[in-house]
Amino acid sequence: MTMVTPQPLDQEDEEMLVPHTELLEGPQPVQGPIALDGTPPIEAPQPMEVVGQAEVASTAENQAVEEQPQASRFTWVIENFSRQTNKKLYSDVFVVGAYKWRVLIFPKGNNVDHLSMYLDVADSSSLPYGWSRYAQFSLAVVNQIHNKFTIKKDTQHQFHARESDWGFTSFMALSDLYDPGRGFLMNDTCIIEADVAVRKVTDYWTYDSKKETGYVGLKNQGATCYMNSLLQTLYHIPYFRKAVYHMPTTENDMPSGSIPLALQSLFYKLQYNETSVATKELTKSFGWDTYDSFMQHDVQELNRVLCEKLEDKMKGTVVEGTIQKLFEGHHMNYIECINVDFKSTRKESFYDLQLDVKGCRDVYASFDKYVEVERLEGDNKYHAEEYGLQDAKKGVLFIDFPPVLQLQLKRFEYDFTRDTMVKINDRYEFPLELDLDRENGKYLSPDADKSVRNLYTLHSVLVHSGGVHGGHYYAFIRPTLSDQWFKFDDERVTKEDMKRALEEQYGGEEELPQTNPGYNNAPFKFTKYSNAYMLVYIRESDKEKIICDVDEKDIAEHLRIRLKKEQEEKEDKRRYKAQAHLYTIIKVARDADLSEQIGKDIFFDLVDHDKVHSFRIQKQMPFNLFKDEVAKEFGVPVQFQRFWIWAKRQNHTYRPNRPLTLQEETQSVGQLREVSNKNHNAELKLFLEIEIGPDLRPLPPPDKTKEDILLFFKLYDPEKEELRYVGRFFVKSAGKPTEIISRLNETAGFSPDEEIELYEEIKFEPCVMCERLDKRTSFRSSQIEDGDIICFQKLPQAQAEEKYRYPDVPSFLEYVKNRQIVHFRSLDRPKEDDFRLELSKLHTYDDVVERVARQLELDDPSKIRLTPHNCYSQQPKPHPIKYRVAEHLLDMLVHYNQVSDILYYEVLDIPLPELQCLKTLKVAFHHATKEEPVVHNIRLPKQSTVGDVLNEIKTKVELSHPNAELRLLEVFYHKIYKIFPLTEKIENINDQYWTLRAEEIPEEEKNLGPQDRLIHVYHFTKEAALNQMQVQNFGEPFFLIIRENETLEDVKVRIQRKLEVPDDEFSKWKFAFLSLGRPEYLQDSDVVSSRFQRRDVYGAWEQYLGLEHSDTTPKRPFTANQNRHTYEKPVKIYN
């Protein structure tokens, strides 16, 4: 018998698919809500392969599409189940969401000893190319004795041609299914249920978060998803948002320089914007640059730093203490003696709690562990003031919890065996309601206020998806604490059910449903790398206060006005952009623009067109009508206007080329733009020529013939080092410069008979070309034409070169072209400018370091070492500039195709040329008896030998005896790879990636017998990786002599004495011979020497005596990689 029924109207989405938690299996969830509706029941067609009769014989094909349910339950009753001989069975076809489905089962298992069950697209073979559909579904085997024992599993999937079925290979054990006492087979009948919910796949190109959810997301700047998830969480704590709005700010503040204003602006936009919000203003207010935005940091760390910064900014304001009121709780650390009456307590505050995940099943287990009592006894007794050493109990209890409880789950831990951070993906449950008064207040101290009910409800779940070296952050939040959850994933906000926000973020393992039933063998289980990382709970008794109303009256008026204006400007820009194709931008330059810009903003050519007046004109407007617009704007009647078209010359200069013709002025603006601009951008650039009479009134433009040339003039003053625009006028092409001398003198304010020098400014890219003009040669002969620039100055005197830095126009323009402001930063403080110098790109290496030395008041410039800047990372490059290798300043500043304006400096103790002839090595010296190694920087000439290094070390360290001999080892990943010969040159020794270790040679090693062996001894531990055991080395490796016929029992005595390990700990150690990573465990009676090859075999480090034990040694204060720029940056908010 087969039945299809719709879901009841009053049933919640999450109830439909909730499995028994301990049986949850399935793939990673696909985001999105489930569509439910309550359309009438539909009956499916006759069965295909299954024994059993349908109650109604109507076919699905006859049903109208609009009547078909979006979510339905299909029930499949299979009689004579144990006698089924087919390997696989298909159910009847049933229809949900206008799609045909069927259930596929393997009664005896799909090559496993479990029932295998899948949901299948019934008509997949006949569907058109490229089809796909999405369904969220559960499959169940009904328990016919008691429904609560029904086994139900759920998942979701995007079905398509290559994956037309999806489900569970190991649904339930066959032994349970066929056991008549279990209730799954009654009268040899099995009942299977499939709950299927079909929804449209969201097209996120057109998805509108505000329309779908009422909320908007935050844009990701590169790697700021960790920040976005935290900001959304804080924003959705209304009391916090209200406090931010009430922080004092003024209309004169700039968001990029004020954290309170930037946060107010961000929160306002989240509240009132229609689209996702950018966070650049906020990160700029933090003092972050682009590089910081591409560095992924830790949510927990950012949360602390941001709250501390806001707490500081709130001091002295009406909202002072808000952070404490919301997030601050207190606990009591205590030590209580058992045998005497002595107790020590200390009260501490917390803003968040770090809870262990590893070894804990859920939040309550973590709290149990947090308050666990530690016994101080034996060697670890407590020193109790007047009572001396005493047995004691040590622990933590809570005095009070805050209204908003932030729980940081310790998903990341330092793995001492691997010497690295690892992510804990274990399953870890957290409840919707958290009762911290449970078991008679077991977490509370005697001083706690018992009248406060510490019952909390879950507000948000911050999720990390990925591994220890990166991943993605997003948040599940229920802003009003209703049953509706929302997922905030950067720009996208979606509605989610409770199961998605809670159970699916527990972590742990899932079984991947099979895609090709009949071909797969065993189910594939995988670790879920998406799991909860931070939880925010709100106390039930405080939720009315915390989840308060926040509206416009909470927002400062100046902020409302500013942000509404921003919104209007944004809308104007959008409209402007949408209509851009109908308009032409006309940029009109005038004499006033040339006077304003030349000598200040620009020195070459005539004008920066981006800084002149622009008109936005409809393309259809006739140019003559445009002249009316110009007349209104500039007050120059149409008859006095003459327009010139600009042209780009072959030498890359841009000059007025010719006046517009009368015929051109009758054309439309759009046609004229196309004629004048071959690049077809939306701009038309013009020069407006206006003649002004003696009475300062405009005059009609003079007639222009082919003989008339329009020239522009700049005046240079070498004393003031000043270049300025002094006007333009027409000259005859047959005329000579001598004919205009008196007019130029008058323009410049010189006496009429002043001797002047004239230069033609020809080009400035790629180099400056400015040539003296022969005053006695005609303009035509000198190839002068319309739009040319003539620079002039008083005739330089003989002593001018000594008197002025730049005595003539060409030298001044050369200087302007190459001058460069450089910001110098100390290499120790790479974020802060120390000083700036105006230099020339043509300055030599010596010129630059000399100027820096002068600035630092340093006598010897050769002690300055410079390091270039990486424009992409905004950090110093890893290698400094070698002495005189960079020829000019420009060589120091170029980074790929960019020119930086930053250099880093350091002051050396010896001159750089000397230092470059030396080699500096970091050597860790291991004393024969002292435990901790000490790192020494050894600086010697490059031609020195290892013997010289060891002699230098002897002068710096304390030896066990005066005649001690040293050796130098190369250590990498806790293995000894090389003993350096004393004669080896140090020039090619690399200390960037390997650790160099110096140590005394034990006396016993100096006189090895013919049968003695010097073997490598390493510490190791074993751990599972990629489904196999792998050896991980740790700790300090060492050499050991083994004698002929010496047993492991004898060797162990010497090892224990050498390492000073206590008996109880040493008894737990295991010993193995390892070759190429494979351990062969040894017995006390084994002869150790028989396992090892002769000495001096290459690769001896891969054959060693391994000491297997847990790594409890503290981390060493030095690192294998000494590269100065590989450190991981902490989160910093600078402002």
Q: Which long-range contacts (CB under 8 A, 24 or more apart) does 944-951 make?
A: 944/919, 944/985, 944/986, 945/982, 945/983, 945/984, 945/985, 945/986, 946/980, 946/981, 946/982, 946/983, 946/984, 946/986, 946/989, 947/982, 947/983, 948/986, 949/921, 949/923, 949/986, 949/998, 950/982, 950/998
Residue 827 structure tokens? 């290499």
Q: For residue 896, what are the contacts with CB-CB under 8 A and spacing of at least 6?
A: 871
DSSP sequence for 81-120: GGG--SS-EE---EEETTEEEEEEEETT-SSSSEEEEEEE
The span from the CA of 680 to the CA of 684, in Å, is 10
Q: Can you tell me the distance from the alpha carbon of 264 to that of 164, in angstroms, rounded to the nearest whole number?
A: 50
Q: Please tell me the total number of residues recorded for the chain in this structure.
A: 1135
CA dist., res. 295 & res. 1129, Å (int): 8
Active site residue 472: yes
- Residue pair 920/989 in contact (Cβ under 8 Å)? The answer is no
Positive or negative, the CA dihedral 233, 238, 240, 244 is positive
Nearest to 708 by CA among 733, 740, 738, 736: 733
| Tokens linked to 596 | 């304003």
Torsion, Cα of 177, 179, 182, 188 (10° steps): 70
State how far the Cα of 537 lies from the Cα of 455, in Å rounded to an integer.
Answer: 9
Q: How far, in Å, CA of 1119 to CA of 1108, rounded?
A: 23
Three-class secondary structure of residue 632 per DSSP: helix
Judge whether 903 and 822 are in contact, CB under 8 Å.
yes
Tell me which residue of 672, 670, 667 sits closest to 645, measured CA to CA: 672
Provide the angle, in degrees to the nearest 10, between the axes of the packed helices 259-272 and 299-314: 110
Q: Which two tokens stand for residue 239?
A: 């009391």
Give the CA diameter of the chain. 127
157, 190, 225, 1109: the active-site residue: 225
CA-derived radius of gyration, the chain: 41
User: How far is Cα 396 from Cα 409, in angstroms, rounded to an integer?
Assistant: 18
Long-range contacts of 438-446 (CB under 8 A, 24+ apart): 438/364, 442/368, 442/371, 443/367, 443/370, 443/371, 443/397, 443/398, 444/397, 444/398, 444/399, 445/331, 445/332, 445/334, 445/397, 445/398, 445/399, 446/397
* Per-residue CA distances from 1062 to 1058, 1059, 1069 (Å): 11, 9, 11
CA distance 1058 to 1017: 12
Amino acid at 121: V
Reply yes or no on whether 917 is catalytic: no
Q: List the beta strands (DSSP E) in 122-256.
A: 132-141, 151-160, 165-173, 190-199
Parallel, antiparallel, or unpaired for β 412-415 and 420-423? antiparallel
Q: Are 391 and 337 in contact (CB under 8 A)?
A: yes
The answer to whether the CB of 326 falls within 8 A of the CB of 403 is yes
Quote the CA–CA distance of 462 and 474 in Å, as a whole number: 6
How far apart are alpha carbons 686 and 587 in whole angstroms? 6
Please tell me the distance from the alpha carbon of residue 185 to that of residue 173, in angstroms, as a whole number.
13
Listed residue (1105, 1101, 1042) closest to 1072, CA to CA: 1105
* Catalytic hit among 464, 472, 936, 1016: 472
Q: Which residue has the tokens 């420009």?
A: 890
Active site residues: 225, 472
